[in-house]
Amino acid sequence: MLEDKSPARTPLDQLGEFLLIEKLTHSFTLQNTSSVVGIGDDAAVCDFSAGQTVLTTDLLVEGIHFDLSYMPLKHLGYKSVVVNLSDVYAMNAKPAQITVSLAVSNRFSLEALEELYAGIRLACQNYKVDLVGGDTTSSTTGLILSITATGQAAAEKIVRRNGAQANDLLVVSGDLGGAYAGLQILEREKAVFKANPQSQPDLTPYSYSIERQLKPEARKDVFELLDEWDLVPNAMMDISDGLSSEILHLCKQGQLGCHLYEEKLPIDPEVVSICEEFKINSSTAVLNGGEDYELLMAVPQSAFEKVKNHPWLSIIGHFTDKQEEAYLINGLEQAIPLEAQGWQAFPED
């Protein structure tokens, strides 16, 4: 008789809510002095006596924000934390705590959720944040995941979206378009697999872009760099919905226009190659792709010397006064009105 080597699968209805939470969170430990009481009581207790507290939350829905046919649960857990921490860094604050709430259908086992929480735990370790609470319930529609994050900063350090000034430099961290390019590869291979389940794709040439989609990182290093420089941007936000959308947010909030230079857009060579393969304009991927979780900021002209040659940062344009609109300046020096064509939470039917 052949030995059954299929992985163990523990149905959630054998556990109950409290035992499930205990099994998923037993290996988490508190790392921040502001975390006084974590999981295990009716509520967490945090001491935010130092500075001001920022609070952000994000909701991820299966079939809308992620596809488990190519998104490993461990990666999903990691990414779900990172996208929240990115919002905290965008306020120029240091993340400290998260809560995790999820609704799951009975197709998920304990072992599957342990994979999800392994990714959450890894993100907590990498970014030195504490899991201090959350909730679990059942779902009839797959997996729904909601994470709330807190962070702290001195009042004078907090950066909002509405502070940009005319002539401020438009600065972005990292490179853009990778997450969008990675998504195109994953969606293509999903379609190939549906047509031929025996296919074995070679994803090696696309590893950078796929990682940008499945396992992005929040720019903790840029937050720390700004602190080291004692530089507080006039405005800042993270790039989740596409560069063009985020720039227009900063312009609207600050009642300003801007000039964005196409030739200054930072793009990884692999992304350019993928765009050529899919016959996509690489600038379009950068402007409208989203999910890069880089930091977009308005920086005073006085910081030009610090910013201009730093390998993590690119000056891609500047803000203009409110009499002007937001323009993309292309390689022919033509001014094209900038349009928001990135992610929409409520698209038209």
Comparing CA positions, the residue from 76, 60, 83, 38 lying closest to residue 139 is: 60
DSSP per position, 304-347:
HHHHTT-TTEEEEEEEE-TTS-EEEE-TT--EEE----S--SS-
Q: Looking at 132, 157, 182, which one is the last position of a domain?
A: 157
Tokens of 316: 């891609």
CATH number at residue 58: 3.30.1330.10
Strand stretches in 62-156, DSSP E: 94-104, 130-138, 144-153
The burial class, CB within 10 Å (0-12 / 13-18 / 19+), for 10 is middle
- Looking at the domain assignment, is residue 33 inside a domain? yes
d(CA 349, CA 344): 12
Residues in the chain: 349
Domain match, 149 and 213 both: no
Q: What is the DSSP letter of 77?
A: H
**Strand pairing class (94-104; 130-138):** parallel
Comparing CA positions, the residue from 88, 110, 83 lying closest to residue 13 is: 110
Check residue 180 and give its pLDDT: 97
- Looking at the domain assignment, is residue 316 inside a domain? yes
Domain match, 328 and 220 both: yes
Q: Looking at 157, 178, 205, which one is the last position of a domain?
A: 157
Domain match, 266 and 140 both: no
Check residue 11 and give its pLDDT: 77
- Looking at the domain assignment, is residue 7 inside a domain? no
Domain match, 133 and 38 both: yes
Helix axis angle, 269-277 relative to 178-195, nearest 10°? 40
Check residue 320 and give its pLDDT: 97
Q: How many CB atoms lie within 10 A of CB 197?
A: 7
How do the pLDDT tens digits run along the chain, 349 residues long?
Answer: 444 455 678 877 777 666 777 777 777 888 878 878 777 776 778 888 778 999 999 999 999 999 999 999 999 999 999 999 999 999 999 999 999 999 999 899 999 999 999 999 999 999 999 999 999 899 988 899 999 999 999 999 999 999 999 999 999 999 999 999 999 999 999 999 899 888 888 899 999 999 999 999 999 999 999 999 999 999 999 999 999 999 999 999 999 999 999 999 999 999 999 999 999 999 999 999 999 999 999 999 999 999 999 999 999 999 999 888 999 999 899 999 999 875 454 455 5
Q: Looking at 157, 185, 206, which one is the last position of a domain?
A: 157
Domain match, 173 and 267 both: yes
Domain match, 150 and 178 both: no
Q: What is the residue range of 58's domain?
A: 15-157
Domain match, 151 and 295 both: no
- Looking at the domain assignment, is residue 10 inside a domain? no
Domain match, 43 and 145 both: yes
- Looking at the domain assignment, is residue 162 inside a domain? no
Domain match, 270 and 312 both: yes
pTM of the full structure:
0.90
